[in-house]
Structure 1
Amino acid sequence: MLGTTSPVPAEVTLELPPPAGPHRLGTTVLHLVDRDRTDPWHGGARELMVTVFYPADDVRGYPLAPQLTPAAAEAFKGFDPVYLHPELPDEAVDWAATATHSHTGAPAQPVRRPVLLYSPGGVDPRAIGTGLAEELASNGNVVVTIDHPGETSEVEFPGGRVRMIDMPGDPRTDPALFRTMLGTRIADTRFVLDQLGELAAGRNPDAESRELPDNLGRALDLRRVGSYGHSAGGATAAEVMHEDRRIAAAVNMEGYLEYLPEEPGELLPIAREGTDRPLLLLGTDGFRDERIERSWSAMLAHQRGCTRWQQLDDATHWVLTDYGTTAPQLQDAGLMRAEDRAKLVGTIDPAESVPAIRDHVVGFFATHLSR
Structure 2
Amino acid sequence: MSHVHAYSDGPGPAHPTRRAVTVSAVLGALLVSSGIDVAAARTASADVRLRLPAPTGPHPVGLTTWYLVDRSRCDPWDDTIPVRELMATVFYPARSVRRHPPAPQLGAATAAVFGALAPYQHPGLPPAGVDWAATMTHAHQGAPASPARSPVLLYSPGGGDPRGFGAGLAQDLASHGFVVVTVDHPGDALVVEFPGTTEYRADVVRTTAFREDPRSNPATFDTMIGTRIADLRYVLDQMEVLAEGGNPDAAGRALPTGLARTVDPRRIGVYGHSAGGTTAAQTTYDDRRVNAAIDLEGYLDHPGEPPGEPGPFFPVAEYGVNRPLLLWGTDGFPDRAGMERSWQAMLAHPGGWTRRRELRDAAHWAFTDFAAFAPQLQAAGLMTADARTALVGGIEPARAVPIVRTGVREFFARHLGA
Tell me the TM-score normalised to structure 2 length.
Answer: 0.85
- 5 Å matches for 1:268-307? 268-287=314-333, 289-307=336-354
Is the partner of 2:223 in helix, strand or coil?
Answer: helix
Map residues 8-157 of structure 1 onto 2, 5 A cutoff: 11-43=47-79, 44-79=82-117, 81-82=119-120, 84-157=121-194
Q: How does 1:308-327 map to 2 (within 5 A)?
A: 308-327=355-374
Matched, 1:176 2:223: no
Q: 1:51–1:144: 8 Å Cα contact kept in structure 2?
A: yes
Change (3 A) 1:158 1:294: same
Equivalent residue, structure 2, for 1:209 = 252
CA distance in 2, matches of 1:246, 1:126: 22
Q: Give a deviation string over 1:123-160, Cα, whole Å, max 9, x none.
A: 10000101111111111000000000001111000137
How many Å separate the matches in 2 of 1:216 and 1:344? 36
> Relative contact order: is structure 1 or structure 2 higher (C-alpha 8 Å, sep ≥ 6)?
2
CA contact (8 A) 2:151 2:416 kept: yes
Aligned amino acid, residue 145 of structure 1: T
1:246 equivalent in structure 2:
289
Quote the Cα distance in structure 1 between the aligned partners of 2:118 and 2:235. Answer: 29
Per-residue deviation, residues 212-268 of structure 1 (Å, max 9, x unmatched): 100111111010000000000001000000000000000000001111113614211
Aligned-partner Cα distance in 2 for 1:167–1:215: 39
State the Cα deviation string for residues 67-100 of structure 1 (Å, max 9, x = none). Answer: 0111110011121655x30111010000000000
Paired position in structure 2 for 1:335: 382
Percent of residue pairs bearing the same amino acid type:
58
Residue aligning to 2:32: none
SS at 2:99's partner residue? coil
Alignment partner, residue 5 of structure 1: none
CA displacement, residues 33-82 of structure 1 (integer Å, 9 cap, x when unaligned): 00010110113100100000000011000010000111110011121655
Q: Give 1:54's aligned amino acid.
A: Y
Cα gap change, 1:48 to 1:92, in 2 (>3 Å): same
Aligned to 1:356: 403
Deviates more, 1:303-312 or 1:161-170: 161-170
Q: Which 5+ residue runs of structure 2 have no aligned equivalent?
A: 1-43, 197-202
Aligned residue identity for 2:70? D
**What is the root-mean-square deviation in Å for CA atoms of aligned residues?**
1.4
- How far off is 1:172 after superposition? 2.2
Distance 1:73 1:253 in 2: 25
What is the rounded CA distance, in whole Å, between the counterparts of 2:56 and 2:239 in structure 1? 26
Q: Which amino acid in 2 is paired with 1:63?
A: P
- Code of the residue aligned with 1:280 in structure 2: it is L
Tell me which of 392, 405, 408 is aligned to 1:345. Answer: 392
- What is the Cα deviation at residue 370 of structure 1? 2.0
Matches within 5 A, 1:221-260: 221-260=264-303
Superposition deviation, residue 10 in structure 1: 5.5
